Structure 1
Amino acid sequence: MKALFLICLFVMTTSVFAQETRGAMSWTADNGNGTYTNPLFYDEFSDPDIIRVGDDFYLAGTTMHATPGLVILHSKDLVNWKFMSYCFDRFNMGDEFKLENGKEAYGQGIWAPCIRYHDGKFYVFSNINGHGLQVFIAENPAGPWQHINVGGSIYDLSVLFDDDGKIYAVYKYNEVHLIEMKPDFTGFVEGSERVIIPAGNAMGEGHHFYKINGKYYIISANYAPVGRMQCARADRPEGPYETVTISAKETMGTRRVHSVNNVGLGSPVPEDGFDFKVSGDDGNYFSAVPLHQGGIVNLPNGEWWGISMTDFRAVGRTVCLSPVTWVDGWPYFGLPGNLGRTPRTWFKPNVESVSLPHAPYVRSDNFDNDKLLPIWQWNHEPVDKKWALKNGKLRLQTMPARSFLWAKNTLTQRCIGPVSTATVELDASRLRDGDVAGLGLLNMPYAWLGVVCTGKAKDLVMKVQQGNKTISLQRQMEVNDPAYKGTVYLRIAVDLDADLAQFYYSLNGSEYEKAGEKVLLPYQLKTFQGSRYSLFAYNEKEREGGYACFDNFVVDEPMANRTSNLPIGKVISLCNLSNGTYAWANPHGMLHSAGKGSREYQNGGCFFKVHDRGKGRIALEAMNGTGFLTVVGAGLSADVRMMEKESDASLFLWQDMLRGQCMLLSLSTNRYIGIDPVTGEPYGADWTGCCPDRKDGTVFTWTVIDSDGIVKKTEESETY
């Protein structure tokens, strides 16, 4: 009876997931078929730390200068997460957190949290630059949270409540220190600090400290030279420690396309006219940041899983989930036979609870409630008396600011990828001389589209900080014109995989026109965040002004519904992204390459039917009658051959790389089908993963073929 219930629930879950409309969906890693696809979130979530309490999982992440701060998420299955709480609403620590007196805290604030549970209470430990260690304590992770300012210079720390009652913290970059904390968290035990891992021993930052089966483990992120995850192990907290690499080179096929080289931590806020030095991409690992800075957690059934982050272009840093394989007492991220590499798509953790696919946040907001949705964060601390939710609208009163980056009460939420649009209604009728209000992208360089009030005239203007461009759209709107109702409709469409955005506007809410050219969204280390949608209002003439009213903020994610990304029952071709050749089922039994115009392509030898074998598993049958793709042997002899009869070695897990791209993970070798693009040797199933540029021979573009051998147009999401 229980099995029947679970089957019915799985069918219902899949059906509900499949019937969601494209516009209403938000990215979730859950594929609805028993698998998930990384990243867990397609928006920024930095420095993740995770714990399990009973059957519940809790995830804490960095929020930098944004408020409210220190986010806590909750999950029952490690894949589907929901917002739980923020640890605080305000910093209350000085002018830099308020954008006052020429001070700011971009990229500073609070970061690299450690979440722990001990003796009935939840603890979050985190550093605020210039203010030291902060501790937040709650009996319920939904809050309220008690705050203790410990101070000192303890950063990138992790805390361990040991069995003997002592509380240890490990911290610092490269040279790892151990210190004992006082039980009341008012400070540290005098004389307890010591160096436990000297500099140059492959450890890095963002430590995660555990005691497992009587041994002490420290997991850290090392950036020398390109980023990897290290693990140290000892019999005592003070060491001596031995170390190994537990994850390396895993970028999920993602590379940092554009970044700003001359705007970083500690640098001044770039003013208008600043010459941004933006680098391009050279396609190697130095242009990508592999999985790093994360922790591990166990399930009640004994499984172990890893949480870590990687850089997803203009998104910023986001979270990936990795199966953990223990070998010789070391927790490697990855699978048996492919240690250190994480599949992009894998089977969900084996937990008792069944969770319907869902996103962690509601992103669209009509401002009809008496409080903002949790997805919203202010850029620095807000001035509470200068904003309100009134009559179903968000009202922002303008305050003096010399530019967008210095505007107070800018309300933000993270841009979500791969592509999305944000649309908002702006009532600008109450703006006064010198006021500016609109929809922007908080980044350095920034960009915005809005209404500028000069005297009684209101112009629709676009401002792009890179190149210091101010573009009048020549849509002057006179206050006294009875035809003008004061409302304009503003829209931003972002392609975060390409680091690009396009602005639009409408005067009637239905017909939109482009505003300016596409805007580049490079990543930089001054805000240390990805791009953010922003609602703003300020006065550029350095005085108090009127106010702007925003309504119906709507986020649309056209690529969130991925149910068609696994072409079950379809006949497809597989074109290798590395050299443009097609996978060809050789009648002699091997899988080779062939050109599109070749005889092999024309006779169907490059066409494969995708058979569903449940939970994301597939079998590929060649349409020229040679049989099923099957892996024979292992290691260097892991050949991919055509076998008449299907077997367990014919099972592959489809790796959705989005935009019509995929990889094929052999469930025999836990490695990928690939070919050397230079030598053109037959395909093998011994490739550990793909490079950031996806052109090493493991990534395919797939295309649906109809019964007459004609290529059907694969549905691709419009970016703009």
Structure 2
Amino acid sequence: MHISISGLLGAWLALTAVAKPVGEPELQSRATDFTNPILWQDHPDLDVSRVGDVFYYSSSTFAFSPGAPVLKSYDLVNWTPVSHSVPRLDFASKYNLNSATDRAYVKGIWASSLQYRKSDDTFYWIGCIEGKTYVYSSPNSGAGANNGEVNNWNWSLRATINKCYYDCGLFFDDDNTVYVAYGNTDIQVAQLSNDVKSEVRSQSVYKGSVTIEGSRMYKVNGNYYIFVTRPANEEWVLKSKSPFGPYEQKVLVASISGPISNAGYAHQGGIVGTKDNKWYYIGFLDAYPGGRIPVSAPITWGSDGWPSLVKVNNGWGLTYPMPVSTSKTVPAPVGTDNFSSSALSHEWEWNHNPDTTKWKLTNGVQLQTATITNDLFTARNTLTHRIIGPKSHGTFRIDVSKMQDGDRAGAALFRDVAAYIGIYKEGSSSRLVMVNNLSLNSDWSTKSTGTIAATGPTLASGATDVWLRVQADITPAFSGGATRQTTFWYSTDGNNFQQLGPAFGMTNTWQFFTGYRFAVFNHATKALGGQITVKSFTMQKY
């Protein structure tokens, strides 16, 4: 995870059976070139690796639960989520969103690492959360015998180490020795026990004169490498013949232009090789209001062992040749989720840990009211979904027939400065509202619970389904200063939509780290007992 510094651009669920949204033809071409960004969604602090023919990708999720999504790809360009390494955020009670003063915004899972160890057919995830390092593992995956395909994800907590491996990168050496590179400015390498439960030794290997972090550790052609970021615009490479150094240093990229405008510079990433020994660096761009999105470029290796990024017109290429030619596909990120499986798709994450007694899958996602509050930021069981850029809308079909007096439900554009379209149940009446200017203070306490900006029609007595749409333009505006707009729409038949309320201007600030998300919520203001059922969610580009 990067922290902005002055003068730079910024600085649970056992989810094994997954229902994937129905895809549309949004996958990038497999024949010739790909276009950056490779995935226009908020997936920062990435760690990328390959097992057989399958590439895996892990990223940060902060207080969203389950945490640390695992994405897979066959070509390094088209990705789909397949698991979460941390099924539930069991780090402290505040991750349960207990109250307005007991919650975990901007805490939780920052830059972490995911790697596979062939010798025991196990995936390992490691990350520092508030001073301690947690290790989760998924054994007996079958990936080694199935050319990288996983038969079963079975994540559980393996160990807690009473030390913070900040912004860590896990590495298994050829002899199975376990290392983790970590640190801020003072980069260190620790050797862990073979069972990945404790530290054997640790030492400093490189002290920077400026802030560097985001370690990723590799071994290529006999050399050890630690890739680190100088936030938020450079990527450095440390190279040594030994895991414990001494390390030399060179710059891989520094304030490199492109590939899209009004975004930050590519940095804080990692490298991965294909089966035919082609190598790629993948970093992310600060691309608020949408978050931090991944971009990829080939790298070459010099005779001196140093990598170089392949540039286009001395900048980061908008397009490059496809890394892998394959007929294997993954689902597209757009389409409709009808919630017809026995578990939620890994596209979904809750705002903090959910109250598992207040939701279930039954002809949709049934959300009972779990909190009595007038503050959406304190309401449990708000279900979120990343927005696909640059412009898309998310439409929730919701059965509101079992809402009770005082209940509030709806579709939100969720972040620290937020807005929503929803239903307010008052007595026997259900009225449509658009609410804006919900916001958090800089310490992530609630600043404003929002203002009703527009009131729509009252739903007919006995009405059941209503369609609520959030239409968001998350075209990067991080360095350009423009205010991107979101509009809110409703329909009572699923075909004819009407806008409600004014356009809402999104914030481009980085301090909350997470980009905007689509979200659906249901909470009470008077008494528990009401419920809604989310029958479907459709995300489409426009």
What amino acid maps onto 1:62 in structure 2? S
1:115 Cα deviation after fit: 2.1
Asked whether 1:342 is paired with 2:316, we answer: yes
Identify the residue that residue 218 of structure 2 maps to in structure 1: 210
Q: CA deviation at 1:396?
A: 3.3
Paired position in structure 1 for 2:203: 194
Name the aligned partner's letter for residue 197 of structure 1: Y
Aligned-partner residue type, residue 163 of structure 2: G
Q: Distance in 2 between matches of 1:523 and 1:316?
A: 9
Structure-2 separation of matches of 1:491 and 1:211: 48
Partner Cα separation in structure 2 for residue 253 and residue 82 of structure 1: 22
The answer to whether the aligner puts 1:471 opposite 2:481 as a matched pair is no
Is 1:236 the counterpart of 2:242 in the alignment?
Answer: yes
- Aligned equivalent of 2:343, options 368, 371, 383: 371
2:536 equivalent to 1:552: yes
Deviations 1:216-267 (A, max 9, x none): 21111112xx4111101122222222211112223534455xxxxxxxxxxx
**CA offsets, 1:606-650, max 9 Å, x none?**
xxxxxxxxxxxxxxxxxxxxxxxxxxxxxxxxxxxxxxxxxxxxx
Q: Distance in 1 between matches of 2:211 and 2:459?
A: 60
Distance 1:63 1:251 in 2: 27
Of 420, 425, 428, 1:448 maps to: 420
Partner of 1:584: none
Of 483, 503, 516, the residue aligned with 2:488 is 503
TM-score by length of 1: 0.64
1:81 deviation in Å? 2.6
State whether structure 2 residue 133 is matched by structure 1 residue 160. Answer: no
- Distance 1:164-1:476 versus aligned 2 partners, 3 A rule: closer
Shift of 1:122: 2.3
Judge conservation of contact 2:367–2:381 (CA < 8 Å) in 1.
Answer: no
Match of 2:194 in 1: 183
Q: Equivalent of 1:520, from 466, 488, 505? A: 505
Q: CA deviation at 1:508?
A: 3.3
Structure possessing the higher relative contact order (Cα contacts under 8 Å, 6 or more residues apart): 2
Q: Does 1:421 align with 2:401?
A: no
Q: Which amino acid aligns with 1:299?
A: T
The residue number in structure 2 matching 1:433 is: 405
The Cα shift of 1:174 comes to 1.3
**Match runs of 1:546-695 below 5 Å:** 546-558=530-542
Q: Which residue of 1 aligns with 2:37?
A: 39
Equivalent pairs: percent with the same residue?
Answer: 29
Report if the CA contact (8 A) 1:255-1:312 is conserved: no
Structure-1 residue corresponding to 2:147: none
Secondary structure of 2:472's aligned partner: strand
Q: Work out whether residues 83 and 360 of structure 1, in 8 Å CA contact, stay in contact via their aligned partners in 2.
A: no
Show the counterpart of 1:261: none
The CA distance in 2 between the partners of 1:213 and 1:329, in whole Å, is: 8
Amino acid at match of 2:472: V
Amino acid at match of 1:347: P
User: Of 485, 510, 532, which aligns to 2:517?
Assistant: 532
Letter in 1 for 2:425: C
- Seen in structure 2, the aligned counterparts of structure 1 residues 108 and 523 have a Cα distance that, compared at 3 Å, is farther
Report the Cα distance in structure 1 between the residues aligned to 2:452 and 2:174, rounded to whole angstroms.
62
- Cα distance between partner residues in 2 of 1:512 and 1:360: 25
In 2, Cα distance between equivalents of 1:211 and 1:186: 22
1:332 paired to 2:308: yes
**Candidates 344, 354, 361, aligned match of 2:327:** 354
Q: Which amino acid aligns with 1:538?
A: H
Q: Which one-letter code corresponds to 2:107 in the other structure?
A: Q
1:451–1:246: structure 2 CA closer, same or farther, 3 Å change rule?
same
Q: Which amino acid aligns with 1:343?
A: G
Instruction: Please state how far the C-alpha of 1:67 moved relative to its aligned partner.
Output: 1.6
CA shift digits 1:375-431 (9 cap, x unpaired): 111111111111122234534335212311111001110111111111222222222
- Assess if the C-alpha contact under 8 Å between 2:135 and 2:197 holds in 1: no
Equivalent pair of 1:362/1:373 in contact (CA under 8 Å): no
AA in 2 matched with 1:64:
F
On the 8 A contact 1:57/1:75 being kept in 2, the answer is yes
For 1:142-201, what per-residue CA distance to the aligned partner results, in whole angstroms no more than 9, with x for missing partners?
411242222311121112323455322211111111222122222212xx322211131x
Query: Using a 3 Å threshold, how does the CA distance of structure 1 residues 362 and 370 change in structure 2: closer, same or farther?
Result: farther
- Alpha-carbon deviation of 1:87? 1.7
- The TM-score with structure 2 as length reference comes to 0.84
Summarize the alignment of residues 27-176 of structure 1 with structure 2, pairs less than 5 Å apart.
27-28=26-27, 30-101=28-99, 102-118=101-117, 119=119, 120-140=121-141, 141=150, 142-148=152-158, 149-176=160-187
Quote how far apart the aligned CAs of 1:308 are: 1.4
Distance 1:94 1:383 in 2: 15
Counterpart code for 2:343: K
Distance of aligned partners of 1:524 and 1:187 in 2 relative to their CA distance in 1, 3 Å threshold: farther
Task: Specify the code of the residue in structure 2 equivalent to 1:520.
Answer: G
CA distance in 1, matches of 2:240, 2:411: 52
Instruction: Name the CA distance, whole Å, in 2 between partners of 1:253 and 1:520.
Output: 25
Q: Which residue of 1 aligns with 2:4?
A: none
Cα deviation code 1:486-505 (max 9, x no counterpart):
43221111111163211011
Give the Cα separation in 2 of the matches to 1:229 and 1:75: 24
C-alpha RMSD over aligned residues:
2.4
Partner Cα separation in structure 2 for residue 174 and residue 519 of structure 1: 39
Q: Which residue of structure 2 lines up, in the alignment, with residue 493 of structure 1? A: 471
SS of the residue 2:405 aligns to: coil
* Distance of aligned partners of 1:62 and 1:474 in 2 relative to their CA distance in 1, 3 Å threshold: closer
| Structure 1 position 529, deviation (Å) | 1.0
* Inter-partner Cα distance in structure 2 for 1:162 and 1:396: 49
Q: CA separation of 1:88/1:361 partners in 2, compared to 1, >3 Å: closer, same or farther?
A: farther
Deviations 1:651-675 (A, max 9, x none): xxxxxxxxxxxxxxxxxxxxxxxxx
> What amino acid maps onto 2:226 in structure 1?
I
The superposition leaves residues 113-156 of structure 1 with CA deviations (integer Å, 9 ceiling, x where unpaired) of 22223223322222223443333242315411242222311121
Give the Cα–Cα distance (whole angstroms) in 2 for the partners of residues 24 and 164 of structure 1: 42
Distance in 1 of aligned mates of 2:25 and 2:417: 27
* Structure with bigger gyration radius: 1
Partner of 1:650: none
Counterpart among 247, 255, 258 of residue 249 in structure 1: 255
Give the whole-Å Cα distance in 2 for the aligned partners of 1:373 and 1:165: 34
- Which amino acid in 1 is paired with 2:389? G
What is the DSSP-based 3-state SS (H/G/I as helix, E as strand, rest coil) of the residue aligned with 1:97? helix
Would the alpha carbon gap of residues 90 and 342 (structure 1) be closer, same or farther in structure 2, given more than 3 Å must change? same
CA distance in 1, matches of 2:511, 2:349: 18
Residue by residue over 1:530-572, the C-alpha shift from the partner in whole angstroms, topping out at 9 and shown as x without a partner, is 111111000134x3141122223221123xxxxxxxxxxxxxx
CA contact (8 A) 2:288 2:510 kept: no
Gaps in structure 2 of 5+ consecutive residues: 1-21, 142-149, 439-447, 476-482
Contact 1:362 1:375 in 2 (8 A): no
**SS of residue in 1 equivalent to 2:195:** coil
